[in-house]
Structure 1
Amino acid sequence: MRLLASMAAPMAAMTFLAAGAAHAQVTPTAPPQMAAAPSANALAGKTFLATNAKAPGVVTLPSGLQYKVVTSGPKTGPSPKLGDIVKVHYEGKLLDGMVFDSSFARGKAAIMPADGLIQGWLEALPKMKVGDEWTLYIPSELGYGPRDMGEIPPDSVLVFRLQLIGMLAVD
């Protein structure tokens, strides 16, 4: 018992010293947090969007989303709302033209909830009418942002050909 008691004080001091030493070593020498430099994709995307904004027919929304109407459906046609199920044909590409997904290539339209999509689609779909076909230019922050999505590198601007075919009734 005396041996344990005699070891307790030095052990406590060593624990305190070790914790203090670790704090002293880490805190003063830790570099201040710096914002990461924009990636090459982010810079290329910003340049593309700035140039594209001046192209004929391109509309830029306050969020940065850009679109161009390719074909207009009936002006009195319905527009989807959040919670609706939409039937669409689409093709997604990167700025270099690489197609990463296409319902057109599969030969079958996609049916999906209008609220389970990337932010760029969430903003565009309610502005579309059934029968519309638009080209969307989606800034990275309205797409997948800095996440690596396999074929879609981080900070990628996405270009979608989006055709709103219809909406399905929701019970």
Structure 2
Amino acid sequence: MKNKTISVLLLGTLLCFLSLVTLSGCKPSERYVPKPADPDADMEFKTTESGLKYRILREYEGKPVKPGDKVAMMMRGSLDDGYVFDTTYHDGHLMHVDYNSLIIGMREALSLIGKGGMIEFIVPPKLGYGERGQGPIPPNAALTFLVEVERIERKKEDLSHRSLADKPLEPDADAPEEFSTTKSGVKYRLRVKTDRIKPTSLDTVSLFFRIRLNDADGEIFNDSYHRKSARHGPLNALPIGIQEGIMQCPVSGSVEFIVPPELLGDRKLTWMAIPNEGKDVLPADTPIHFIAELGRIQYKDVP
């Protein structure tokens, strides 16, 4: 009798497990949750002319996603019955997508938000996979998505004209004359502003730069312009004050900043040093004036 009871319990457990597998489609459970929506977010869905239904749950910063952009995002996709056919919330890793390769409904929805934004939207079959379906998505299925845009890599402008740059870009007509100051004490101002991404300390960057001692009229200590060649390297290999100044600059932009001596650490320029010039260490107890143009970023994600 005891063995029979155990067998019944095991059978019940197995059936329960199989039913869960069927319902979940073998997708991993979600261990991460979306970031909070705005308190005043409109919970009503709006409908575009194409038939896409959407509601913006969190406002974004900067400009919205546009054709040619590459987007790093968190995403959950589900069917009408609640079946989740894809999600990044099971492991918390960003999904990287090319805007131009997405289904029409996803492209239209992403064009409504930008970096930091969150949107929920329903894609009708004609804007999704239509009559053919795809993989776990059946024919004529409406798809519900929740998307959080974490980062946008804008379509690269043609920077070939800067490959032989011999002087800094001219500042924007509306560039600020006053310097802002970071919490640590780096003074900076954007000379050329763009809507592209800024680097983090973990990124590898390519840039043109000019370093003067003391101030904007000081002696030129190091200059990549006179060699007409950008320098490339990991940002975190530089003194902390230089890192912080460059991190204020978007791709294709230009920044001017002043670093006090106490933020220059060991003062080694590492990969920024111009070969064969013997200027790989900055003078002691001397602030530096820096102009930099950020050409591109090879960024690194942190899970």
Three-state SS of the structure 1 residue aligned to 2:136 is: coil
- Quote how far apart the aligned CAs of 1:169 are: 4.4
Change (3 A) 1:168 1:56: closer
Counterpart in the other structure of 1:95:
80
Counterpart in the other structure of 2:89:
104
Counterpart in the other structure of 1:58:
45
Runs of 4+ residues deviating >3 angstroms: none
Counterpart in the other structure of 2:146:
161
Counterpart in the other structure of 1:16:
none
Query: What letter matches 1:67 in structure 2?
Result: Y
Contact 2:133/2:141 (<8 A) preserved: no
CA distance in 2, matches of 1:168, 1:109: 14
CA distance in 2, matches of 1:148, 1:58: 25
Contact 2:71/2:153 (<8 A) preserved: yes
Note the residue ranges of structure 1 that are not aligned, 5 or more in a row: 1-54
Q: What per-residue deviation string (whole Å, max 9, x for no partner) do you get for residues 49-88 of structure 1?
A: xxxxxx95211000000101111123xx121111111111
CA distance in 1, matches of 2:106, 2:63: 17
Which protein is richer in strand relative to its size?
A: 2
Of 68, 73, 79, 2:55 maps to: 68
Q: RMSD across aligned C-alpha pairs, in angstroms?
A: 1.6
Counterpart in the other structure of 2:99:
114
Which protein is richer in helix relative to its size?
A: 1
CA distance in 1, matches of 2:147, 2:43: 19
Contact 1:57/1:69 (<8 A) preserved: no
Worse-superposed segment, 85-94 or 125-134: 125-134
Matched, 1:123 2:119: no
- Quote how far apart the aligned CAs of 1:133 are: 0.6
CA distance in 1, matches of 2:154, 2:68: 10
- Quote how far apart the aligned CAs of 1:149 are: 1.4
Note the residue ranges of structure 2 that are not aligned, 5 or more in a row: 1-41, 157-303
TM-score under structure 1 length normalisation? 0.63
Contact 1:92/1:161 (<8 A) preserved: yes
CA distance in 1, matches of 2:117, 2:43: 18
Change (3 A) 1:56 1:85: closer
